[in-house]
Each structure stands twice: as structure tokens, then as C-alpha cells.
A and B are shown apart, each in its own frame.
Chain A
Amino acid sequence: MEALKAKDYATDQEVRWCPGCGDYSILKQLQTVFAQLGLDRDEVTIISGIGCSSRFPYYMNTYGMHSIHGRAPAIASGLKMANPALDVWIITGDGDGLSIGGNHLIHLLRRNFNVQILLFNNEIYGLTKGQYSPTSEVDKQTKSSPFGSIDHPINPLALALGADATFVARTLDRDPAHLRDTLSRAHSHRGTSFVEIYQNCNIFNDGAFELYTDKATKSDYTIDLKQGEPLVFGKNADKGIRLDGLKPQLVELNSSGYSVSDLWIHDEKDPTKAHLLSRFFDGSLPRPIGILYQEDRPCYEDLLVSQIDGATEKLGKGNLDQLLKAGMTWKVG
């Protein structure tokens, strides 16, 4: 069989996101990654909830379900239990995954089903036309918060780590190479891969992530995490993060007396460091992108299958006739 190309993963359905939406980039990169990985279209299932991002399954020529608001993780869990061999991708957004579906998200993560969950975070409600979302910043003025939002925002990566997620990463719609690499890594992780994607909503929240995506500011405001490498950032690679005990400290490499060898070395296997990185969130430190954390832990569906195998070995394969006639019985006639 001839290798599939990115376009072979597209359907004939007209893509109906607003022109300029960050979702287009994610769709294209995911199709590219599928082609790179050579995924079998009949083995892939994409499950989404409700929201702009959740239209995704209609545009991917695989199995897919556009379900109901917030519940995609629950549905994907059931599917994965029914057929552990499937390659399941969950598409959600900041409203779908963190607001109405927040409960399902944390339970998906702690159970560690072997799925990928891509959370498109645009810090706004798009499909309902512009209300603040659980990731919107305080004081945000929207249709439903004309005097500014008083809601404290959720930190998605800290939440994921708090739920004991085994793979936690952040990437950007406007950095295709980084996006592809991150999706590819997420796919190779065995367990629930949580990927937050900063996604621009050019209609209701344009430029929300401009600091992190604009060429002029990107390198000063983000830090690209690379396993085993020091936390260096800045236009001239002249800034870094060192650890003062458990306290991250931003240092100027040329003027402070610190050199690269004094810096924090990124270790995605270290849960404590991952928690610290997830807290680079208030603007005083650069926003980390890349893989914050990865650990190997048994997947729920594998445990389920092995429990069934164990029970079958212990009790023998179930016999319906014996089951019906079990317990205390008596004969009439």
C-alpha cells in the first residue's frame, strides 16, 4: 500500500472555522503528523466535545465522534476499554475541557488511558460568541463581563500535574515545527498525553498569545524546554533560570556572575521540577513550551484486561449454564 499523505487524512467536508483561526494550523499539522507516523485511518478515532475545536472529527478521514459538551474524555475512556488497540485522540478546548468537562478531565488523567488529549486554549468562548472562559485573565472585558471578569483563571498544566497526568506539554498553533514535534512525542507516550495548545481566536480574543508567538518577543517570553539541556532563553540566549533551593531565579548570564553551568537542567522525569515549571504562569518568568513532564505508569485499559485475564485464570472461563444454576437450587417434579 502506498504511504498516505497529509491530505489523505482530510475529509471532503468544508472546514467551517473563521478565516484566520488557529484551528486551521492545528488541523494541518495533525494531518501532517498522522502521515509522518503512517497511522492507519481505520485504527484512529478522534473524539471531541462541543465548541469550535470540537468540530475537528468531521475534518479528519478516520473514525470520529463529535459528542456532547465536556464528555469526550468519558466517551473515549469507554471506547478505549472496549477496544484497547485503537489510537484515540481527544480534542477539547478551554471551555469544554476545563469548565463543563473539568471533572472528566482529571479522572481521565489519573486513570492514565493510553490516549492523546489536545486542549485548544484560546482563553475565550468562541462558539457562543465571546464570553470569558475559565482560562481568561482577571479583569477581562467580554459580553458576559462588561465590568471585567472577577474569575481567577485555571492553570491547565498545573491542574494536569495535580491530577497525576503522565505526559504534560504545551505548544503553540503558530509554531508548526514545535507543534508537530510535540504531537509526535505525545503519540509515542504510552498513557494519557495532555497537550495544551495556545490557539489564537482572531475574532473574540485576537493576540492573546502574541507575546509567545510574535518573532519580536517570542524568545524573551518563552522558554523552549529540551530534555537534559539548561534553561536558557532570550533573543541572544543571554538569560537563564537557576534554582535557588526550590525557588526559580531568573538570571542574566552576562552580568550576574552566573554561567550556563549554574542553570537548571531540564528533566522531564522530575515531578517536582515539572510542578515548578507549571507555575511559570504569572508573567515574571518566561512561559515554558515543550514537554514539562513524562512518566511511565500502567494504563487503565491494560490493567483492566489483565484483571479480566487474571479472573478468568483463577475462576475459569465463565460458563453461563453454571452461573444460572449457581447458589442454592432445588428441583420441582
Chain B
Amino acid sequence: MTKETKKQETSEITIKFAGDSGDGMQLTGSLFTNNAALFGNDLATFPDFPAEIRAPLGTLSGVSGFQLHFGSREIFTPGDRYDVLVAMNAAALKVNLGKLKKGGTLIVNTEGFDSKNLKIAHYDRPVPEEDDELKSSYELIPIQVTKLTRTALEGVDLSNKEKDRCKNMFVLGFLYWRFNRDPTTTINSLKKKFASKPVLLEANLAVLQAGFNYGDTTETFTVTYDIPPAQMPEGLYRNIMGNEALVLGLIAASERSHLPLFYGSYPITPASDILHLLSRHKNFGVKTFQAEDEIAGIGSAIGAAYGGHLAVTGTSGPGMALKGEALGLALMLELPLVIINVQRGGPSTGLPTKTEQADLLQAMYGRNGESPVAVIAASSPGDCFDTAYEACRIAVEHMTPVIMLSDGYIANGAEPWKVPEVEQLSPIQSVTPESPEEGISFQPYSRNENLTRAWATPGMKGFAHRVGGLEKEALTGNVSYDPANHEYMVKIRQAKVDRIAQFLPKASINKGAAQGDILLLGWGSTLGVLDSTTTELIDKGLAISHLHLRYLNPFPEGLPELLANFKTIIVPEINNGQLSKIIKERFLVPVIPFNKIQGLPINKTELKDFIYALLESEENGSIKS
């Protein structure tokens, strides 16, 4: 039996997969994402999951979600609202319904709405099939996913519990039918994942196919959607997550600097994947060390840096607090060291699996004494590669600790990434010491024209010297309590970091004109939303531009001049106004903060609303900054 289906073309779709944290929503989302990427769509993802590994079944707090925005045009963000919501149970629907577009598609697993689920989720509506309001507002597709999954697996030698674990594949299969997708990439992924478990492989493939067939054969489904490939610059692409790109950036820096890579770290969400991924690449000579605590993580990295390695430590906010004293030692010793902070909601343990940009002031100032270090921030999953590479370059070439800020949103988010050519990555040159003249002992703290000292490492003949955390005499590095020497050393350590700016690209506008009414000034993971908001508002006729900062200490040259070109500067951040504070203090310009502190990325709608409200009050003459 065949049926008539109509194909409809559309330029972008946002899907939210939501279910219990054990329902496999992250895997389902990732598989769809890889499929869309290989097909040539541009995309952005946003996984959102609870801190508990297995939160109580059916609860609101246990809902795990994966949001995917893909399209045939340029995609900047995971999307504000959903075109399609997959809700595997009542809790998932309750948590996510508010963001489903009116008229959007709502796919529900009806078996996730039994009395137990309704009670646990405090679900006070009728079940979806009997919910007239739901039916009139959305395209409701109720599916008995568990039953259909078990039917597809009749005769397969698995327990019902094991069979039920395949039900995410049913949903995925159905969506592949709905969006006219070839499931081959997923079939290949499953073959790899279950290579040693043929029964599970067979089961997953059978359920995937059953879901696809369900769409294909059920009479009521008459429309499928095509999202053609996006126009992207020529090149080789792969889909990449932030932490994955960061790891590649570190390995690339190690290869291009000819310095072995050392990574000392203690597991912490959302930075642990850096340790996991790096530990797989020992054949690049990468040394990973799971330290006994955060302090030993950075301590071991300082030891490795002293020993001549490209040394890196990684953590998230609470771990960063623990590393503070050792970071001070590294800057006092003037050793190259990269410290990665994949930020999460704070303070204290805060929101471990949610995103935030609230560790900027900690990075800039969070140490005792006058203690400048370089600070740079990644702005998208793919940009984690370039930023990690830059962090290594600055650390090695300027003999300084560099803090690299990422966050949970881009660490776990994914986007298509144009793979760079190795020879186009600028080589990284460390500062090697010149042999001291006969009879003159080596001066470890003499400096070159960049105020950088040379990197003499234990084992090098003729350079034996002592370093330490006590204030040191300018050239010899010997302990010195001389008042004038201390002031000189404080100033020279500051000047050294300031001088890095001479080696950075000048500040430039990301989008829009170099002058105008409004400048959106941002840093880190807000790049996508600031860029797309700016694009949209320029189209609406506003004189608005976007400038995004990768380099936060030192700031790039030319920044104050650009800031002066705009009547109003808006600084949107996922914190309570940290870059705002720094910009006001540093450049004495008024700025208007836009702050969201909900553990979630900023979305375009709320930012646009804010800008329009601001313009309105400006017209009324009431604007104050």
C-alpha cells in the first residue's frame, strides 16, 4: 500500500528532544545532529541535562534535553523556540511546552503519561490525546513508543527492559522520515557503537527502521519536510563540540611548537571531557595526569612547564578558585602555562551542568597581589580550537600563564567546523636561552625586547638556577626584599602582559559599520546570538554593529577608538555585568548591561525586545546609562 505524501521545503527547523535522563535523548540528538551536518546543513546545538546521573524517574528535575537548530541558511544559535518538540514523558512536556511555537509539532510518547508519570510530574492537564487545547494549538502526534518498540522487537532475545532502551531509536527513525533524511550515517554509528554487541545492534537498527516505517505507512502523516544544504565557504567540514575542538587545538599547538603536551587535571563538570579526549591521544606523546585534586592538577602542570613541556590544566569555576595560589606562583616564576576554565553556573558548586560567564572577574583579578595574566575567551564550539591554539601561543612566546575561558554551552554544543590545514597554523616559537659567557652565571630573569625571559629547563647544561615564589631580584632571580626592586618587578610583570597586545590583531567590528548608534559588545559564547540579532536589526534599518572580544587581557589595540564611534554601547552577558564593569573602569565610557543569569544562553527574542525597549525610552528622552 502506498500513500500520497507532500514534500514541503523550509529553510530552518529547531527540534527539542526531551525525556528522562535515562531515555537517551542526548544520543538521539547527537545522531540527528551528525546526520544533518553530513547532509550539509548549518547547525547549532544545545544539550541541557541535569547534574544528577540518574535523577529520579519521571521528575521535572530529571528532564534531559537536546536542542538542535539546523537549516539551509547560516545558523548562529540553537534557536529561541522549537518547531518540533519530542516529549518522552509528562515531565518533559511540562518543562518544554512553553517554548514550542504555536502551530508547532508536538510528538509525545503516550506511555510516558500514565498515572504515575502524571503524579510525579505534578502534571495538571488532561493527557495529550484528550487535551483539546493542545490539539488546537499544535500539531499533536501521539505515539505509543514503548508498545511499538516492543512489537518491532518481538522474538528478539532481550528483556523488556533492554528492549525499552531502544525506544529513542523509534523516535529518531520517525523524525528521519519526517525530514526526508537518509539514516545511513546513524546506521554506521550504531554499527560502531555496538560492534561487540550484535543483538543490541540488530535491535536498535530494527527499531530505527520501525520508526521510519511508522511515518511512511501511517495514513494520517501526509507531509514531510526538506531542509536543503546550507551555503558554506568551500572546504572540508566536520561536526564538532567545543571541548573536542579545544583538545584538537592543544594537540595542534603541541605539534606546531615542537613541545610535548602535558595536561594535569582533576575531573569536574563540564571540563572532564578535555581529560577524557586528550587521554586517548597518547600516540601524539600527550601526557595526561589525573591528579589527586585541583591544586595538584595545576601543580603538576607547573612542574611540567618548568621541565619544558607545553603545560595545560583545565577545570571549571570551583576548581579555578582552588588553583588561585598556584596560578600566582606560575606568574611569579614567569613560566608558560595554559589554564582552561570551562565556566558553569556559580558561585560555589552552583549549577554544574548549566552555563554562565560569571568567572571573568575571577580570571582577571582573582589572585593575591598584583598579578596580571593573559585572558582569552572562546566564542563558539569551533572557535575553541583557535582560542586554545592562541592560548598556547601567547603562553609560550610571552612566558606567562594564560587563562582560557570557555563555558558549558559551547563546550557541549556543536556546530559544523571547517577543518584547518596544518601548515596554515602559525608556528609557535619558544624563547630559548643563550649560553652564558664563561665565568658569568646565567641570569634567569633577564628579558628580551618583549620583556620576556628565556625558558631554561632542568637538565640543560650550564643554566642551573633557582626560581621561587618569593619576590626576586630583577636579573638574577635571587630572593630580594628591596623595596624599589619589588615595585620594579610588579611594574615589569604588568608591562610584559600589556605588551602582548602588540602581537594581537587590532580590534575590529564583527558585523555592521565601524560607527553607528548601537554597539553590541560581547565576549565568549554569546557570539552567535549577538551576530544574528545584529544581522536582523540591520535588516530592519537600525544603525547597529557587533564587536566580539576574544582577547580580554590585554584588550586589543584600537578598542577605545571603536567604542567612541557609537552613541550607545550595550554589553550582553550571562552574568551580572562583569565585562560592563571592566569596560567602564578601563575606558571611562558609559555602557548599558544586558544580563541574563539563569544558567541558560541569551536568546535573540529577549535581546531584541531589550534593544527596542531601550530605543523607545531613548526617544522619550529617558535613557540613562
Question: Is B401 part of the contact surface with A, judged by Cβ < 8 Å?
Answer: no
* Cβ B468 vs Cβ A332 within 8 A: no
Residues of A contacting B478 with CB < 8 Å? 13, 58
Return the chain A residue nearest B259 by Cβ. Answer: A82
User: In whole Å, how far is A114's beta carbon from the nearest beta carbon of chain B?
Assistant: 14
Tell me, in angstroms, the Cα distance from A304 to B38 when the chains sit together: 37
Residues of A contacting B234 with CB < 8 Å? 332-333
Tell me, in angstroms, the Cα distance from A311 to B283 when the chains sit together: 5
Question: Is B281 part of the contact surface with A, judged by Cβ < 8 Å?
Answer: yes
Question: Using a CB-CB cutoff of 8 Å, which residues 19-47 of chain A contact chain B?
Answer: 41-43, 45, 47
* Cβ A71 vs Cβ B326 within 8 A: yes
* Cβ A74 vs Cβ B296 within 8 A: yes
Give the contacting residue for B303; candidates A74, A332, A333; CB below 8 A: A74
Question: Is A64 part of the contact surface with B, judged by Cβ < 8 Å?
Answer: yes
Return the chain B residue nearest A62 by Cβ. Answer: B464
* Cβ A330 vs Cβ B40 within 8 A: yes
* Cβ B233 vs Cβ A64 within 8 A: no
Question: Is A195 part of the contact surface with B, judged by Cβ < 8 Å?
Answer: no
Contact with B along A53-77 (1 / 0, CB 8 A): 0000110111111111101011111
User: In whole Å, how far is B527's beta carbon from the nearest beta carbon of chain A?
Assistant: 21
Residues of A contacting B138 with CB < 8 Å? none
* Cβ B458 vs Cβ A320 within 8 A: no
For A41, A67, A317, the residue with the greatest tally of chain B CB atoms inside 10 Å of its CB is A67
Give the contacting residue for A67; candidates B233, B248, B252, B468; CB below 8 A: B468
* Cβ B287 vs Cβ A323 within 8 A: no
User: In whole Å, how far is A11's beta carbon from the nearest beta carbon of chain B?
Assistant: 7
Q: Report the stretch among B13-21, B122-130, B235-243 that lies at the interface.
A: B235-243
User: In whole Å, how far is B478's beta carbon from the nearest beta carbon of chain A?
Assistant: 6
Give the contacting residue for A332; candidates B232, B251, B422; CB below 8 A: B232
Count B interface residues, CB 8 Å. 70
* Cβ B307 vs Cβ A82 within 8 A: yes
Interface of A is mostly: mixed
* Cβ B287 vs Cβ A83 within 8 A: no
Residues of A contacting B239 with CB < 8 Å? 327-328
**Known contacts being A67-B329, A328-B37, is A41 close to B311, with CB within 8 Å?**
no
Tell me, in angstroms, the Cα distance from A76 to B185 when the chains sit together: 47
**Known contacts being A311-B283, A328-B239, is A42 close to B300, with CB within 8 Å?**
no
The 8 closest A-B pairs by CB, nearest first: A78-B303, A333-B234, A82-B307, A74-B299, A66-B468, A78-B300, A318-B284, A79-B303
List 24 contacting pairs A-B, 8 Å CB cutoff, sorted by A.
Answer: A42-B458, A58-B468, A58-B478, A60-B466, A64-B465, A65-B467, A66-B468, A66-B470, A67-B469, A68-B328, A71-B295, A71-B296, A74-B296, A77-B289, A78-B302, A81-B262, A318-B285, A328-B238, A330-B237, A331-B235, A331-B236, A331-B237, A332-B236, A333-B234
A residues at B contact (CB < 8 Å):
11, 13, 41-43, 45, 47, 50, 57-58, 60-69, 71, 73-83, 85-86, 103-104, 107, 304, 307-308, 311-312, 314-318, 320-321, 323-333
B residues at A contact (CB < 8 Å):
34, 37-38, 40, 185, 232-239, 248, 251-252, 255, 260, 262, 264, 281-287, 289, 291-293, 295-296, 299-309, 311, 325-326, 328-329, 333, 419-422, 457-470, 478-479
